[in-house]
Amino acid sequence: MTVKVLLADDQALLRATFRILIDSCPDMEVVGEASDGAEALELARTHHPDVVLMDIRMPETDGLSGTATICADPELATTRVLILTTFETEDYVAQALRAGASGFLGKDVTADALLAGIRTVASGEALLSPGATRTLITRFLTSPVGTHLVPQERLADLTGREREVMALAAEGKSNAEIAELLVVSPLTVRTHIHRAMTKLNARDRAQLVVIAYQTGLVQAGRDNGTPAEAQNS
């Protein structure tokens, strides 16, 4: 299946570079180019891309607003947003994740890493495993300013094992690492992740992580370990 990509960046030269790179892959194609967030929304509704490669700093409607509107649109439920940014804008990254973005990459990313990132996000996974991303999540998503806590009751429909797997995923552990810790197969972990996403109406793994912090299932600066209420299901 071909991954359809929409480019959203105000720099035409950068968009052209990304287009050449992405279109050179037999499993990807660029279906449109936008110069700001509003145009990205319009083109997303037209082309229904699998992934929107979104810059944050753009004139008129920026990438944060564009991400929020795309992720909130029911007609674009299967479209993922991959943010392009730099580590100097960590607070913007956290806002983008809260808005529904599936992950982010620095603009100094290598060509191979960019293509791998697009494929990862298109598959429904999230770019939330590296240590740098864990730092961003714990620093901003759990800070008192701008954090919107939601009741733990939202987790009521999850089994103990689903909460356990969700908490470990929120700490930045990969499926393989979770499987090793819980002595189960990676496929079993993936199943628990997807069941939790379905029950919580989470678009992807990134949003599942946000919910884990917002409900207090995982907290920054604490050795969360295995959730006390987690039981095998």
What digits encode the pLDDT tens for the residues 50-92? Answer: 999 999 888 888 888 999 999 999 999 899 999 887 654 566 6
Q: How far apart are CA 68 and CA 101, in angstroms?
A: 8
Do 118 and 168 belong together in one domain? no
Q: Which residues form the domain of 161?
A: 152-214
Helix (DSSP H) and strand (DSSP E) numbers for the chain: 10, 5
Percent of the chain with pLDDT over 70: 79
Q: 226 or 209, which is more confident?
A: 209
Measured distance between the N- and C-terminal CA atoms of the chain, rounded to whole angstroms: 35
Q: What is the pLDDT of residues 218-229, one digit of tens each?
A: 775 555 554 433
Q: Which two tokens stand for residue 188?
A: 């079993």
Q: Label residues 194-222 b or e (16+ Cβ within 10 Å = b).
A: bbbbeebebbbbbbbbbbbbbbebbeeee
Task: Output the pLDDT for position 226.
Answer: 47
175: CATH: 1.10.10.10
The answer to whether the beta carbons of residues 34 and 60 sit under 8 Å apart is no
Percent of the chain with pLDDT over 90: 45
Do 99 and 21 belong together in one domain? yes
Residue 83, helix vs strand vs coil: strand
For residues 97-111, give the mean pLDDT: 82
pLDDT at 31 over 70: yes
Q: In degrees, to the nearest 5, what angle opens at C-alpha 89 toward C-alphas 136 and 210? A: 35
Q: What is the pLDDT of residues 139-195, one digit of tens each?
A: 555 555 445 566 778 899 999 999 999 999 888 788 888 999 999 998 999 899 999
Do 72 and 107 belong together in one domain? yes
